[in-house]
Structure 1
Amino acid sequence: MTSDSGFACSCCGAHHPELPLNYTAEAPAVWDPAFADADDCLLSPDQCVVRGRHYFVKGLIEIPVIGSDDVFSWGVWVSLSRENFSRAADLWDSPGREGEKPYFGWLTTELPVYPATPLNLKTHVHTRPVGERPSIELEPTDHPLAVEQRTGITLDRVREIAAAVRHADGA
C-alpha cells in the first residue's frame, strides 16, 4: 500500500511518486546465502530453518499512522523455539489457526532506521487466519520501534523512513 501523493525526499531532494507504507526483509539477519543449498537449511517466503537448529517465521510489525486510517508495517523475521515452530508449521494451512495462543520469539531483523538495533527484542507472534502473515507484538520497552508500535507514527516519520530506506545503500 502506498500514498498517492508521494513525498519530497529529505536525502536527495527529489519528489518520489509513491510513499511506501510497508517494507519487508527477505531473510532473518542470521541467514547467509551460502545456506541455500544446505540440506539442513530452508528459506521460504514465510519460514526459515538454519542448520536444523534455528527456526524463524515472518510476520508484520504494524504501526498506526497518526491522523489517518493507514497502517505502516515492517515485514520481519522472528525466531521461535523448535516446539513453537513445529506447532506453527503443523497449523500453517489449518482454518482456525488464529485461535492459537501467541508464540514467544526474538526479533531477528535488522532495521537500520533506528539508532539502536532492534535485534533480539522480545516478541509475541499472533497467528492470523490462513493466508495472512502473523502479527508481531513487541514487548513494551523504551526501544523506539516498540514505542512507535504502541503510540503510532506521523506521516512525517513515514517519509523519514522512506528516505532512509531508499538511500540506505548511499544512493
Structure 2
Amino acid sequence: MLIVMAGLPATGKSALAARVAVELRCTVLSVDPIEAALWRAGVDRDQPTGLAAYVVAEDLAREQLRIGGDVIIDAVNDAGLARRQWRSLADEQRVEVAFVEVVCADPEEHRRRLENRRRELKGFPEPTWEEVRARTPGFDGWDDERITVDSMRSLDENVTRTVDYLRGCRGR
C-alpha cells in the first residue's frame, strides 16, 4: 500500500507518519529531508529542489513497493499534480493508495506550533506563517477519498483512527 500524508507544514504529519509506520511496519519517505540532502550535496537552492525531492521520493517508493513493502510519503502534497503523482505510482505498481490529510483546526495553535518548530534538518529553513497560509488553496477542490485527522486531538487517538482506516483500505 502507498500511504500519502497531506497537510500544511506544522500540522503534525511527520509525527503521525512515524507512529503509523511503527504500527504498520513500513517505510516513511519524507520530502523535506530529501530536499535538505540535495542542498548539502551542493545542488543550488535556485534549482527546483522541491520538485526533485518529490521525484526522488517517488523512485524510492517505487522500489519499496516493487519488493512488497508498504510506504508512507510524508509531504505537504498541496498540489493536485503531486497527488496525481502518487495515484499514478500506485496504479503502476498495482497497490492501493490511501490519503491521510492532517489538519490543525485551531489556527492560533497551528501558528504557535510552526513558530516553535525545531527540526533536525540542517540548513532547512522553516516557512513563515504567511507562506504556510499561502499554500491553503492547494487543497481547495481536493476530492480524493481520504481520512482527515485533526492534530488538536491526541496523537494516540489519531494513530488509532488512521491505522484502522488504512487497514480498512486494504483490498478495496
Same fold (TM over 0.5): no
Greater strand share, structure number:
1
Greater helix share, structure number:
2
